[in-house]
Chain A
Amino acid sequence: MTAVTAPAPTLFNVAPENWKLAILVGLVVAVAAVSTLPAAVSFWIVGAMVAMVALSFVVNAFRRKYYGGLLVAPAIAVLFVMNIFPLLWSLGLSFFAYQSNQQSIRFVGLYNYQKVLTNELAAEANWHALTNTAMFVVFTVAAQMITGFLLAMLFAKQFPLRKYLLIMVLTPMMLSVVAAGVFFSYYYDPTFGILSHVIGGITGEQFILMDNKVGAVAGIVFADAWMWSPFVMLLVLAGLVSVPKYLYEAAAIDRVSMWRRFWTITFPYIRGLLMLALLFRTIEAFKLADLVYILTRGGNDTLTISYHLIRIANEQNKTSEGAAISYLMLFMVIVLTNLYLYLANRRNQGA
């Protein structure tokens, strides 16, 4: 894009923009500090070295009018410190035997991965949690997409009081999961709950929703779909609103059937947004844990992989084993996400 205006500095040319030299000096000082000084002090020295390298990058980018790098730098810095560094750390941990309540740590290579994939007890529990998760992903995402889509169709037209009815539908999304989950457990309660009161009034028997797998799954899926359908609705609605009205007017003059009008006019406008909603909701559905925790505590065979992971990593303190599971999970999500993005791009180019 931008022309390089200054020659790249060579390694031993002392200049503020010479990031290669900065990295070299930073590495030497950091290694020296870590090996001789106590952890709390050396941490800050390493931090200062990282800041120095970052500064040299910035000066370099500025001197060479490399604005892209300059603009992106703060975001990358924050993401690196708070996300990518911890992610790399936990990736590293997955190759060690480490428990967060113990001091000892030892390198075991791929043992953790081997254990979570093939060990009789661990692997079976993991596979089971994974199939449960897959089931939840399919059901919750499908329920959210369908409900959200229908709601969006309902709200796409301009009608009286629309603004006020729309905010009513958006409210579930704003509840905190803790409160929503706890209140759904109240609605489902066999003795005090509204649901059992209504159904029990009709059938004459006490209605217990959460005492078998089907009921428990239905209960969780319903609560999750209720909370997050508005998100899908908002994205789809945005697409529907953006369809130019003259297209519909032309279709009305040509007496195009409703079905055809939807597929040829409306659908192309919302396809990208449907994909985006699908992408974000699938990623989130894989992480479903808090609702399961509040509604069933994993009982009735509703344990998801994320909740299983919290148990392993936080309650049983098997940090490195948890890290191994989560990286296998990340791999699956990445494959799925790329599949989505690939399909979305292919459709876009084909259209």
Chain B
Amino acid sequence: MAENISILERLGFRKASGVGEAGWGHTLFAAVVAFIYFLPVLFIIFMAIKPQTLALSVPPTISPTTLFGLIPDEYVFSPTFENFGSVFSRVMTPGGAPENTGFDLYFFNSILIASVSVLLALVIGTLAAFGFSRYPLKGNDTYLFIILTTRMLPAIVVIIPVILMFRVVHLSGSYLGIILLYTAFNLAFTIWMMKSFFDELSLDVEDAARIDGSSGFRVFFKICLPQVIAGLAATFVFGLILTWNEFLFALLLSGPDTRTVPVAMNQAVSSGGRGTDWTLLAAIETLFLIPVFLVTFFLQNHLLRGVTFGTVKR
């Protein structure tokens, strides 16, 4: 009995009590809304498990099961997992043997480039945000605004000089170049967000620690940083989502060995003039969604707490 309760509670089933808690009616309504909102994603996932011949059927097949007879047979397809296999290896020339498509490398590239650049931006940006927050320079707000400005121009304007620059220093097509570019791309957002977190912290504890002779270094690591962990998580998730799906920079700056999944996805679906290969695209996107989905899911609680803490002035 006791075990039962704990499992239910972990799923969020609590007795509705007090202000701000709602019951089953609310849950049902929210579930319907969330389901409708999720439908386009669900269709992508279903497309990923459709047999290729049914990709463009009329009428469109929308479900892998008849759902106990609720859905007429002509809308039902029988699920298959072949498409996920053909993401990594498939027959490229008619009549030939299955070839490696290189997507294992592209997935590795995406994970490496996104995680390293977001973490790097988080380290550098957090230090800078602490600097901007605690040791304001002359014209602090102007610097912050200039940093925000770097995100306002369309990417194409920044990218042309960067292409020329990378060509001169032989950075085009290397991991280092694209990681540095993404780090800069994430910095503006990281600094703005982390600064607002540091601004919210109470200065009392810090001042006390300083008076007791703690160095600025110690104050930062022992007092400030533990208080903004939720903020770090929130910033990490936002940065990851943006970097993970970035397309234009990756298209123009990554070489054959450093290509990321969005670029490869774009090429895979439109190569050969056969039109879009729907099931393949859906399979790639479904696989590509999983890592960022899991990260967001596990940091979800931090995400809410973090955003709250950082941006509400009170």
Contacts and interface: CB of A to CB of B under 8 A. Distances in A.
B145 to A, nearest CB: 8
Interface string B160-172: 1110110011000
A241 B304 contact: yes
Interface string A82-120: 111111011001000000100000000000000000000
Interface range for A: 35 or more
Contact of B312 (A44, A162, A272): A272
B150 A90 contact: no
Given A67-B135, A283-B152, A194 B158 contact: no
Contact of B14 (A100, A160, A309): A160
Given A245-B20, A273-B311, A170 B304 contact: no
Nearest to B39: A194
Interface stretch (B78-86, B93-101, B201-209, B240-248): B240-248
B128 A75 contact: yes
B160 A100 contact: yes
A304 to B, nearest CB: 10
Contacts, number: 300
B25 to A, nearest CB: 9
Interface stretch (A9-17, A25-33, A124-132, A325-333): A325-333
A71 B127 contact: yes
Interface stretch (A49-57, A134-142, A172-180, A213-221): A172-180
A165 B165 CA distance: 46
B118 to A, nearest CB: 13
A300 B38 CA distance: 29
A161 B24 CA distance: 10
A238 B38 contact: no
A174 B293 contact: yes
Contacts of A309: 154, 156-157
Contacts of A314: 156
B169 A87 contact: no
A168 interface: yes
Contact of B19 (A187, A245, A272): A245
Interface in B172-207: 180-181, 183-185, 187-188, 191
B9 to A, nearest CB: 10
Sorted nearest first, the 8 A-B pairs with minimum C-beta distance are: A68-B135, A71-B131, A82-B184, A75-B128, A238-B307, A86-B161, A89-B161, A179-B285
Interface of A: 1-2, 39-40, 43-44, 66-72, 74-76, 78-79, 81-87, 89-90, 93, 100, 151, 154-180, 182-184, 186-187, 191-194, 197, 226, 234-235, 237-239, 241-242, 245, 248-249, 252, 269, 272-273, 276, 283, 286-287, 289-290, 306, 309-310, 313-314, 319, 322-323, 326, 329-330, 333-334, 337, 348
12 contacts: A71-B127, A72-B128, A79-B188, A90-B158, A158-B20, A166-B300, A171-B289, A174-B241, A191-B58, A235-B311, A310-B156, A314-B156
